[in-house]
Amino acid sequence: MITTIDEERGEVIVRDGDTETRHSLASAEGFAAASKAWLRATWDSKYVYSFAWMGRPIIQLPEDMVRLQEVIWALKPDVLIETGVAHGGSLVFYASLFEAMGKGRVVGIDIEIRPHNRTAIEAHPMMKRIELVEGSSTAPDVVAHVQAGVKPGETVLVVLDSNHTRAHVLDELRAYGPMVSVGSYIVATDGIMEQVAGGPRTGADWTENNPRRAIHDFVAEDKRFIVEEPAWPFNEGTVAERVTYWPEAFIKRIA
């Protein structure tokens, strides 16, 4: 597939084999085509490795974080559980939202929290709303520890951002799905792996071995959950779909 952006004409031209399609840049279709090419460019150039939140590297697409912020504001969860800590930027992001709202705490789980990252996170002003748990996110003792920290009646939101293999994400969905409150979400990130397969820093099996496939495996076996995009609280434009590294990531508990 070849995508050409003609700024003079205000068009996006998409060539797929012998088929050519033209869209206005002002249209939702044109925006989507240009955004798909842009997302591939952000992956290849490691664009997301250039952001920090309150001093900690976050390594996320800014739109994904803003869209998740919209969900957090709407739900006002008591607990946000995130698998995958890295530099701690996303934990600090969630904790700062909770600090602004005056409620909420974050549980960050990682198989290895590197000493320099732990030191920086523990010294951060937002640490008062963060608990760090070191261990495999799918280990029974880790899951039991996290579950024990959730009080009856609390609203729980889960974000999965650790090992992104299909098997591991499916195991995480099975482990943490039961902790999610009815009406809340478990968010399985980085389904973009399927979309960028074949590019730099990708695996040969990414077309099948990715979080998006795990999401569909999970909702097929557990009917308490559906894949459902959260409604945008504001939109005066023509665009109605996220520009995202997390396609189909929002898995809502309905029962």
Alpha helices (runs of H) in the chain, residue ranges in sequence order: 28-45, 62-75, 89-101, 115-122, 140-148, 166-176, 192-196, 211-221
What is the rounded distance in angstroms from the CA atom of residue 79 to the CA atom of residue 81? 6
Q: Name the burial class of residue 144, with classes exposed (0-12), middle (13-18) and buried (19+) by CB atoms within 10 angstroms of its CB.
A: exposed
Query: Length of the chain in residues, anyone?
Result: 255
DSSP 27: S
How far is Cα 163 from Cα 111, in angstroms, rounded to an integer? 10
DSSP 197: T
Alpha-carbon distances of 244 from 108, 135, 157, 166, rounded to whole Å:
22, 29, 19, 19
pLDDT of residue 107: 98
User: Where do the domains of the chain lie, and which CATH numbers do they carry?
Assistant: 2-45 (no CATH), 52-253 (3.40.50.150)
The pTM assigned to this predicted structure is: 0.97
Per residue of the chain (255 residues), give pLDDT as tens. 899 999 999 999 999 999 999 999 999 999 999 999 999 999 999 999 999 999 999 999 999 999 999 999 999 999 999 999 999 999 999 999 999 999 999 999 999 999 999 999 999 999 999 999 999 999 999 999 999 999 999 999 999 999 999 999 999 999 999 999 999 999 999 999 999 999 999 999 999 999 999 999 999 999 999 999 999 999 999 999 999 999 999 999 999
Query: Would you state the structure tokens that stand for residue 191, as one six-digit string?
Result: 């389904």
How far, in Å, CA of 151 to CA of 215, rounded?
27
C-beta separation of 175 from 230 below 8 A: no
Question: Cα–Cα distance between 188 and 218 in angstroms, integer?
Answer: 11
